[in-house]
Structures are given as C-alpha cells and as structure tokens.
Amino acid sequence: MASDVTSGSPSYDEEAESTVQIPNITVNTNSIDHSLDAIENQLHSISLNTSIDERTSPSADYHLESASEINNGSLKENVIETRRNLIGESSSSRRSGLWATNLEAEVEVELEAEGDGALSSPSSSGYAGERGSSGSVSSASGTDGIRELRDNGSSMGDDGVLSLDSSEAQWIRGKRHADEDDASISWRKRKKHYIILSHSGKPIYSRYGDEHKLAGFSATLQAIISFVENGGDRVKLVRAGKHQVVFLVKGPIYLVCISCTEEPYESLRGQLEFLYGQMILILTRSVDRCFEKNPKFDMTPLLGGTDAVFSSLIHSFSRNPATFLHAYTCLPLAYATRQAAGAILQDVADSGVVFAILMCKDKVVSLVGLQKASLHPDDMLLLANFVMSSESFRTSESFSPICLPRYNPMAFLYAYVHYLDVDTYLILLTAGSQAFFHLKECRHVIRVETVLSKSNVLNEVQRSMSEGGLRIDQLPVDPSARSGSLFPLNQRRPAPETVVGIGGPAGLLHFIYRSIYLDQYVSSEFASPISAPAQQKRLYRAYQRLYASMHDKGVGPHKTQFRRDESYVLLCWVTQDFELYAAFDPLADKAVAIRICNRVCQWVKDVENEIFLLGASPFSW
C-alpha cells in the first residue's frame, strides 16, 4: 500500500535507469532486443524454471519504447510538445482541447507503461536490492520473476487464478494513484484505463487518477461520443497507434477503455460490459431514471466506497478466465461431498430464498435456486467479486441490497452474506428487505453452518482448496489405468508444494475445458514453466484472443484452431458440447498435441462428477 503512494515518479526513474543499461538504443533496435534477452536470461536464472521467450511480450516492448523515448532527447521533447498542444498547457490547468486536431491524434495519449505491475508497483521497495544486482530490471515481468522467488513458499501452490495472496489483496482494496490526472506522465503511461462518465461528461469512475481532476478529460470523451451520436452514428473503437479506445454507451452512462495491451476489441468491450454490470449490481438501473429527470445528476456519491470492487474486477480481467468464457468454475470435490452441500442449501432454498450459493473464493461449491429462477455465470462473477472485494463482509454477517443485472437489472435482491471460514462464504439471496433477521434468526442458517461442518463439507472444501484441482502432470497416460476419480479413497494426493512441476505429457502446459451445457469450465492448475503471475496473465491474454477469434461472428464459428508462436502452441477445439483451450510448449508436435487434447477431454469426462456441478445446474430447472 505504502509503495503505491509514491509510484508516479519512480516509474519514470526506472525508465531512466533502464536507458543507462542499454547502449546504442537509437542506433540499432536489434541490439536492444539482445540486451533485453540478456536481461531476461538473467531474470530467468533468478526465477527458477522460467523458459519462455519473452522477446515479444508487451513488457519487452515497453522497455524499448520507454528507453528510446528517454534516450533521444529531441524525440522526447517532441512528444511532450505534442501533448501540450493536444491536451494541456500546464499541470495546474488540466485542459483538453477537442478538434484541435483530428480525432486520432487527439486520443493519442501516451500510456506505454502500465506500472501495472498490477502486481508489482514499480517502486516496491522490497525489490530494490535484487534489482540493483541484476542490472536494469524494470519490466513488469522482471519484477514478477523476482516476486516468484520471494513468494515461492507461500503462494506457488495456489491456483493463481484469482488467488489474492496477501500482497496482492493489499493494493486491490484502495484506489491506486489517486493523485494522478491526465496531465501526469505516469497516468498517461498506464497500459489500461477504464473510465466511466455520465452523458453530461461528468466523471463517475476512473481506474487511475482523481475523478474530479479528470473532469476535463471526461468532458472530452463525452464530446467525442456525442459528436458522433449527433451524426446519427455510434463510436465503438478508435485506434491511435498501438492504443485502442473502446466506447460503450449504456443509456446515460458512458464507459471507455483506453488500452495498449493488444487485446481484441470484443474482449475490451466485454470488460466494459462487466464494469457496467458491476455498477448495476451495486445500484440497479434505477439510476437511469435519475438522469432522465435531471441530466446534472451526480452519481458518484452513490458509489462511495466501491473503488475496491471495481479495481478487483479489473484485476480479474487478466487473471480470471470466467471474464471471457462467461462460465463459472467449481471447486473440485468428491461427488458425495458436493451432493451433501447441495442438499443442505436446498433446505434453505425451500424457505423462500431465491438463490443459495456456497462459494470458496471464486469457485462454486454448490448452488441451488428457486424453481424457474436462473443465475447467469456473469452475475455470479460480479456477485462473487462484490463479496470478495468488500472487506466488511468478512467481519460479520451482512445483509446488502444487490442487483443481478442478468436476472433483473431494474430491481434489488437482498444478499445475506456470511463467511464460514477465511475463503468460504454463504450467500443467500432473498427478495425481501425484511428477510435478514428472519434468515439470521431462523434455524435454517444456523443449521446450514452446523450441518456443513458436521458433515465434513467445510473440511473437504479446505482440503480441496489447498490441494488444487486438475494437474497436467497427472493426466492419465494409459487409458486403462484411469482411476476415474480425483479423490481415490483413503489416499491424499500429494500437496502441490512437494511437487516440482515438469509440465504435462508432450509439452502440455495448461488447459481450460468449458462445458457448454453446464456453463461451467475447469482449468488445470498452473505449473512451471507458467508459474509466475505475469506468465499466467500472458497465457490468459492468449486464450482470450483465441476465444475472440473462435467466436468471431464475421468468420466463425470455427471448429479447431492450431496456432504456434514463440511462446506457445495454442490449440482450440470447439464442439457442440465443449470448448477446449490448450497450451503446449512451442516445439510441440501437432499430431501429438491433438492426441493429448483427446486424452484431456476423456480425463475431464472421467472426473466430471467431481469438477462440475451436475444436475443442479442453474439452467436445468
């Protein structure tokens, strides 16, 4: 937390640092590449088993970009000069000129570096020592590499998908870099901005920076959107160099994403939809009426204290495949255990609860719903994010109005939330605001708790959480030797900490299997060489691109895709029943990879009782 406060300028310093280390920057780009490689290699030697070539990674680009900008004095000056013309004259006056130039140049905001370190703020003091010794380690991946080393003991075994280990969770809670505005160099360098504003141009939310200081910027955005609307058209996407500006208009609410992450338009747009959904979850679409009556309406006070909800959602965009698969995932459990949990929930559901959900982090243990009521996976994601990112739910039983945008965006349900242990929580959704005391007092809830613990469900949940789910190195080699269960009787699986990942057969690195009927997916645990958060993020981005290309309405739907680049072989296979996304070593043989995919599918089918919630699917009522 403390490190975030000072991050604005340090990220700049860091670039300066990197230029010192890299000679001949303006002369020969190849040499940069090589020196980058050298750095990466150095990093790899620090970070255990990292072997993936990172030359093409965004972080490497960032290296290059920033280095040349700083090194070449005149270039830098030009850039800044242009910025002044376009956007501001001095830091005290945040001015945004519109149509001073053409649209494209106007949005050419400079945002190369993310400082993302979504994980590692560039100024994180803890890494200073290591950085010093390894030379110019300033890329995000660099610090992540080191981070991996540091966290080795504590979080390596984690699923890494939405795992909020303590250091990650820390920054999620508050808004980051609240002191920035569009005149700050650090703000312009952020890789991905999300901004919400009203149709009168008043800022509602910004991922980075102070909303009020960004008033001029959001006015510019509104002017762009409205200008196009005036012409009877709609602006969806503006490309400006390597930046994409994606717009989403939801009645009186405008959402904008400015990104240089090279994610597909569809993905970014989907993320804006989630952001809007999260807002609806907190407020319902009743806010539309407020804007209808009074366009001046300022809704920021209504969203007070929800910064953490939005930042954690944004964080999950590159770490939780549910955000692009539109499916949910279950905690692996023995069939009988999940059945027991379901039966207990069913009991409560019979007493007037619309939905009863038992979750462990972002994974579903079990869920039941009122007849005919259906719960959309996207709603589940937003609900889980809301609960997990709101600190107050952890401390006591709570009752909060929430709206499920896919269920009914206009009205509130009421959520009774109770944490049973540090990761496991029960959500009961009711229709009445008076239900809290009923639920609290009534024996049902008390019974849920006692029964869950007596029936050992909670223990099993904790055990599964620590043991993890499907591991590629356990992919059955010989079909006849299949056990058909992840939970062989009386046999604890070795804890992941004790296993040094060697990757799966035939270079299989990771896979995601999405069942279309169940609206659920299962993803293998990450193992080396994809163990650092930055690598996982990159793989998710690759999956996301794959997903977008497979679902491209223009040319699709496709059945299979085989793609090889420097980092992976990616294989996607879509049938009526499932979608399989698999990543292999870049040298993997195509025929072998296909055979392995078949085996993965067989494996998933063999253990589907344990990795999916069957029969009780929210859609099967």
Partner 1 sequence: MPSRRRTLLKVIILGDSGVGKTSLMNQYVNKKFSNQYKATIGADFLTKEVEFEDRLFTLQIWDTAGQERFQSLGVAFYRGADCCVLVYDVNVQKSFDNLNNWREEFLIQASPSDPENFPFIVLGNKVDVDGGNSRVVSEKKARAWCASKGNIPYFETSAKEGINVEEAFQVIAKNALNSGEEEEIYLPDTIDVGSTSQQRASGCDC
Interface with partner 1 by CB under 8 A: which residues?
A: 89-90, 92-100, 198-203, 212-213, 215-217, 219-220, 222-223, 225-227, 229-230, 283-284, 286-287, 290, 293-298, 300-302, 305, 354, 370, 372-374, 376, 401, 403, 406-408, 410-414, 431-433, 619
Residue with Cβ nearer partner 1 (435 or 611)? 435
The DSSP result for 305-325, as a single string, is: T-HHHHHHHHHHHTT-THHHH
Helix intervals (H) in 125-283? 128-134, 140-155, 166-173, 185-189, 215-230, 265-283
The minimum distance between CB 326 and partner 1, in angstroms, equals 11
Residue with Cβ nearer partner 1 (294 or 560)? 294
The minimum distance between CB 98 and partner 1, in angstroms, equals 4
The minimum distance between CB 521 and partner 1, in angstroms, equals 17
The minimum distance between CB 290 and partner 1, in angstroms, equals 4
Question: What is the spatial distance between Cα 585 and Cα 503, in angstroms, rounded to a whole number?
Answer: 9
Q: Going by C-beta distance under 8 Å and a sequence separation of 6 or more, which residues neighbour residue 554?
A: none
The minimum distance between CB 69 and partner 1, in angstroms, equals 27
Phi-psi map region of 615: left, alpha, beta (phi>0 left; psi -120 to 50 alpha):
left
Q: Which helix (H) or strand (E) covers residue 248, if one does?
A: strand 243-250
Residue with Cβ nearer partner 1 (99 or 421)? 99
> Within 13 Å of residue 598, how many CA atoms lie on the same side as its CB?
8
169, two tokens = 């969770």
Residue with Cβ nearer partner 1 (88 or 504)? 88
The minimum distance between CB 535 and partner 1, in angstroms, equals 34
- Order of strands, sheet of 578-584, starting from the edge strand that comes earlier in the sequence: 328-329, 520-523, 508-515, 578-584, 569-574, 560-564
Residue with Cβ nearer partner 1 (402 or 522)? 402
The minimum distance between CB 252 and partner 1, in angstroms, equals 9
Residue with tokens 């989907």: 270
| Helix (H/G/I), strand (E/B), else coil: 37 | helix
Q: What is the dihedral of CA 382, 385, 387, 390, to 10 degrees?
A: -130
Q: Which helix (H) or strand (E) covers residue 395, if one does?
A: helix 392-395
119, two tokens = 């994980």
Residue with Cβ nearer partner 1 (5 or 431)? 431
The minimum distance between CB 374 and partner 1, in angstroms, equals 5
Backbone Cα Rg of the chain: 25
Q: Amino acid letter at 337?
A: T
The minimum distance between CB 19 and partner 1, in angstroms, equals 33
Phi-psi map region of 579: left, alpha, beta (phi>0 left; psi -120 to 50 alpha):
beta
Residue with Cβ nearer partner 1 (439 or 597)? 439
The minimum distance between CB 367 and partner 1, in angstroms, equals 15
Question: What is the spatial distance between Cα 617 and Cα 621, in angstroms, rounded to a whole number?
Answer: 8
Q: What count of other Cβ atoms lies within 10 Å of the Cβ of residue 290?
A: 16
Residue with Cβ nearer partner 1 (406 or 482)? 406
Residue with Cβ nearer partner 1 (213 or 471)? 213
